[in-house]
Amino acid sequence: MQTDDRERLSRIRQSLDRLAREIQGLLPVFTDRGPMLKGTVYAQRRKCGKPRCGCASGEPHGTMMLSRSEEGRTTLVAIPDGYLKEWQVLTRRYQSFRRARARLGQIYKTMLSLLDQLEAARRREP
């Protein structure tokens, strides 16, 4: 085997190692037991329409909402009083779960392509 080839294969093995460690790092996100809530918390700004209300000329009212897409449609849910902090935590947890899941998909795709290269290099014909 050529030196170039050996170096290339050694780089592939190192990449496999690095990716396997990255998966190890993602695992806590997947094995966490905390509940999750799909969606994003945001403030919906609006004027209430009462002519003498402060919002008519100044700051609009802010209602905290949960926005989520279901079957391609975005739905809005008003966050009940006292639940803002908790829902923020739950939605952030969901978002990091989804991010980690997407990353895992990319890692596996990359690993498979690296494995194919190793297989091609090691394979012999009878």
The stretch near Zn ion (CB under 5 A) out of 29-37, 40-48, 76-84, 97-105 is 40-48
Q: Tell the smallest beta-carbon distance from residue 45 to Zn ion (Å).
A: 11
Binders of Zn ion in range 46-85 (CB under 5 A) = 48, 53, 55
Locate all alpha helices (DSSP H) within the chain, ordered by sequence. Answer: 3-31, 84-122
In angstroms, the CA 20 to CA 22 distance is 5
Token pair recorded at residue 86: 């908790």
Report the nearest approach of Zn ion to the CB of residue 46 (Å).
8
Residue with tokens 């975005």: 74
For residues 64 and 44, give the distance between their C-alpha atoms in angstroms, rounded to a whole number.
6
Q: Which is nearer to Zn ion, 55 or 111 (CB)?
A: 55
Query: Whole-number minimum distance, CB 49 to Zn ion, in Å?
Result: 7
Residues contributing to the site for Zn ion (CB under 5 A): 48, 53, 55
